Amino acid sequence: MLILDSVHTYYGHIHALKGISLRVNEGEVVTLIGSNGAGKTTTLNTISGVLPARAGAIYFQDSPQGGGSSSLPGRENGIRLDRMPAHEVARLGVSQSPEGRKIFARLSVQENLAMGAFARTDSDGVRDDLERVFELFPRLKERLSQPGGTLSGGEQQMLAIGRALMSSPRILLLDEPSMGLAPLLVQQIFQIIREINAQGTTILLVEQNAQAALQVADRGYVLETGNIVLSGAADSLLANPQVAEAYLGI
């Protein structure tokens, strides 16, 4: 569904992504793990079009059945996301729940969720997705009129994920959903990630909590200073001594 082929991203002269290649297949949970500053957020921001890729290509299959413009000749890998503006990438069904939550502090929970669906015209679908978000996060339903900025950290994280789901994405990019949460809530968030995936949404999950991420993921990639240094099935990465030492604290 998503292919990154030798993607390079810079901040001015700083070479943050040094030729990243990865793929996410339809229906998978894929995790990208790595330490602070490895380039995880940069990778998600490059996919979503917030940052430009200076070299390489990003491909997306824009329809599930091989229809859509991806089925045109010469587009076997999908359509190019790199150099596409962020709002067009979002419209194709790529939705990001950003690091540090970045919800709208002055807008209510209800308004934040509505912002996630602002580009949609299928009001029945929007209503169904709102119900789905309330089922996943009953807490949000109880706090519909509360300003986003006054929610607890965990509730803001729920709202950020809920808002991303309101665009009815084909692929959800999650940037450190467990950051700053108490252990019990961390378990809950990962359980919800599983549920979202089981309902048919493909997920690319960025995490520093490598253990929990590899437990929900099908496959994983390890990022170190802008390079992918390891990749494989999540259970084989969990069992890998190099991963255990560097990322699992074992």
Ligand X SMILES: Nc1ncnc2c1ncn2[C@@H]1O[C@H](COP(=O)(O)OP(=O)(O)OP(=O)(O)O)[C@@H](O)[C@H]1O
Residues that bind ligand X (CB under 6 A): 11, 14, 16, 34, 36-42, 99, 208
Binding at 14: pick from Mg ion, ligand X, none (beta carbon under 5-8 Å per type): ligand X
Give the residue with the Cβ less far from ligand X, 11 or 118.
Answer: 11
Shortest Å, Cβ 21 to ligand X: 17
Residue 12, phi-psi category: left (phi > 0), alpha (psi -120 to 50), beta (remainder): left
41 near Mg ion, rule: CB under 5 A: yes
The residues, ordered by sequence, that sit 6+ positions from 190 with a Cβ below 8 Å of its Cβ are 178, 212, 213, 215, 216
Query: For 138, which DSSP code?
Result: H
How many angstroms separate the CA atoms of 60 and 57, rounded?
10
Shortest Å, Cβ 34 to ligand X: 5
Binding at 93: pick from Mg ion, ligand X, none (beta carbon under 5-8 Å per type): none
Query: Which residue has the closest beta carbon to Mg ion?
Result: 41
Shortest Å, Cβ 120 to ligand X: 29
- Which amino acid, one-letter code, is at 199? Q
| Cβ-contact 96, 44 below 8 angstroms | yes
Binding at 39: pick from ligand X, Mg ion, none (beta carbon under 5-8 Å per type): ligand X
Site string for Mg ion, 82-121 (x = CB under 5 A): -----------------x----------------------
Give the residue with the Cβ less far from ligand X, 50 or 79.
Answer: 50
How many angstroms separate the CA atoms of 15 and 37, rounded?
12
Binding at 213: pick from Mg ion, ligand X, none (beta carbon under 5-8 Å per type): none
Binding at 38: pick from ligand X, Mg ion, none (beta carbon under 5-8 Å per type): ligand X
43 near Mg ion, rule: CB under 5 A: no
Binding at 238: pick from ligand X, Mg ion, none (beta carbon under 5-8 Å per type): none
Shortest Å, Cβ 119 to Mg ion: 26
Phi, psi of 23 (to 5 degrees): -140, 150
The residues, ordered by sequence, that sit 6+ positions from 235 with a Cβ below 8 Å of its Cβ are 214
Give the residue with the Cβ less far from ligand X, 14 or 184.
Answer: 14
Shortest Å, Cβ 62 to ligand X: 26
Other CB atoms within a 10 A radius of the CB of residue 64 amount to 14
Label residue 73 exposed, middle or buried (CB < 10 Å: 0-12, 13-18, 19+). exposed
Could you give the count of Cα atoms lying within 13 Å of 117 in the half-sphere of its Cβ? 19
Number of residues that bind Mg ion (CB under 5 A): 3
209 near Mg ion, rule: CB under 5 A: no
Phi, psi of 108 (to 5 degrees): -70, 170
